[in-house]
Amino acid sequence: MSTWEALGVIFLVAAVTLATRALPFLLFPGKKKQPAFILYLGKYLPPAMIALLVVYCLKGAVFTAFPFALPELLSVAAVAGLHLWKKNTMLSIGGGTILYMVLVQFVFPG
C-alpha cells in the first residue's frame, strides 16, 4: 500500500467516524422532540447489548469439566457486584477482566 493510499484510508475512516458522531445532532437538533422509536431504543437497547455480551463471553465456558467455568462465573459475579456497588461501568468491566485474567493465568491455568 502506498503512502497516498494509506492516507486516503485514514481520511475515509476519520470522515465516517465523524459523520456517525455528528448524525444524531443533525437529526435531532436542540429541543426537537425525539421520535418514540428512538426513545424506545435508548431505553431497551443498552440492557439487550449487555445481555448479548454476557452470552458471548460465556459461550465457550465448559460447565462439565474442571474448573467448571469458575473463572467465567466468578468474573461475571465480580462485574455485577462492582457495578451494583460503585455504578461505574469502566471499573466494573476492567475489574472483571483483570479478575478473569488472573484466574485463568494463575489460579486455574491450563
pLDDT in tens, 2-29: 999 999 999 999 999 999 999 988 988 8
pLDDT on residue 58 = 93
In contact, 74 and 95? CB cutoff 8 Å: no
pLDDT on residue 32 = 83
Instruction: Evaluate if residue 110 carries a pLDDT over 90.
Output: no
* Residue in 19, 35, 98, 108 with CA at minimum distance from that of residue 71: 108
48-107 pLDDT per residue, tens: 998 998 899 899 999 999 999 999 999 999 999 999 999 998 999 999 999 999 999 999
pLDDT on residue 31 = 84
pLDDT on residue 69 = 94
* Residue in 16, 89, 98 with CA at minimum distance from that of residue 49: 89
Q: Quick check: helix, strand or coil at residue 67?
A: coil
